[in-house]
């Protein structure tokens, strides 16, 4: 079953594949891709689905998003299990659990810094300007700082309850 098309330029995007978008990449031939026929923007899908990764983006936006991901966002959560503070990282399973939780916390932290609702804070939805803001918001931030922020939030909620 095909997932709902993302909207771009006020119209639903069209589902196509890598054969159209990346003609020189036979390895991506069958990769599902949503394309906006009005502005020629496109975006990929979550692995093995046709669920769009955010909304279609033009080249500059795609570049800003992937730079933010590769250089700023991903290094922060992907090394979370190695930043100390976890006594029982006993193997790849718990490390991957820690990283998954870290990613969620990092998104929460970023949403607050950017003044966005958590559900609107997704890299796949960022504009070029928001990528810049997000990079700025995470400048000098380390994962232990994010964890501390998360623990303080949790404590506030518990005290309020």
Distance in angstroms (rounded) separating the CA atoms of residues 32 and 113: 33
Distance in angstroms (rounded) separating the CA atoms of residues 16 and 59: 17
Q: Which is nearer to Zn ion, 13 or 106 (CB)?
A: 13
Q: Is 9 in the site for Zn ion (CB under 5 A)?
A: yes
Both tokens assigned to 73: 């966002």
Instruction: Find out whether 6 and 12 touch, Cβ atoms under 8 Å.
Output: yes
Least gap, CB of 19 to Zn ion (angstroms): 21
Least gap, CB of 8 to Zn ion (angstroms): 3
Q: Is 33 in the site for Zn ion (CB under 5 A)?
A: no
Least gap, CB of 10 to Zn ion (angstroms): 8
| Of 6, 8, 126, 134, the one binding Zn ion by CB under 5 A | 8
| Residue whose token pair is 């190695």 | 82
| CA dihedral for 149, 101, 144, 135, sign (positive or negative) | negative
Q: Which is nearer to Zn ion, 114 or 128 (CB)?
A: 128
Least gap, CB of 44 to Zn ion (angstroms): 15
Q: Which is nearer to Zn ion, 56 or 107 (CB)?
A: 56
Judged by CB under 5 A, the stretch of 8-16, 47-55, 68-76, 146-154 that binds Zn ion is 8-16
| Residue spans of beta strands (DSSP E) within 5-128 | 7-8, 11-12, 14-17, 32-35, 42-43
Q: Which is nearer to Zn ion, 38 or 132 (CB)?
A: 38
Instruction: Find out whether 68 and 126 touch, Cβ atoms under 8 Å.
Output: yes
Instruction: Find out whether 16 and 33 touch, Cβ atoms under 8 Å.
Output: yes
Residue ranges that bind Zn ion, judged by CB under 5 A: 8-9, 36, 38-39, 41
């Amino acid at each position: 079953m095909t997932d709902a098309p993302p909207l771009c330029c006020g119209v639903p995007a069209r589902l196509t594949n890598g054969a159209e978008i990346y003609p020189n990449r036979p390895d991506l031939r069958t990769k599902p891709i949503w394309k906006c026929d009005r502005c020629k923007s496109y975006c990929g899908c979550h692995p093995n689905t046709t669920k769009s990764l955010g909304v279609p983006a033009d080249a500059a936006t795609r570049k800003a998003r992937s730079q933010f991901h590769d250089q700023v966002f991903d290094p922060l959560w992907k090394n979370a299990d190695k930043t100390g503070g976890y006594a029982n990282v006993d193997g790849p399973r718990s490390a991957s659990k820690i990283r998954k939780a870290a990613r969620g916390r990092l998104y929460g932290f970023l949403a607050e810094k950017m003044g966005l609702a958590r559900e609107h804070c997704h890299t796949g939805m960022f504009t070029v300007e928001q990528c810049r803001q997000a990079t700025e918001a995470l400048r000098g931030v380390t994962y232990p700082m994010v964890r501390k922020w998360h623990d303080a939030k949790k404590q506030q909620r518990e005290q309020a309850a």
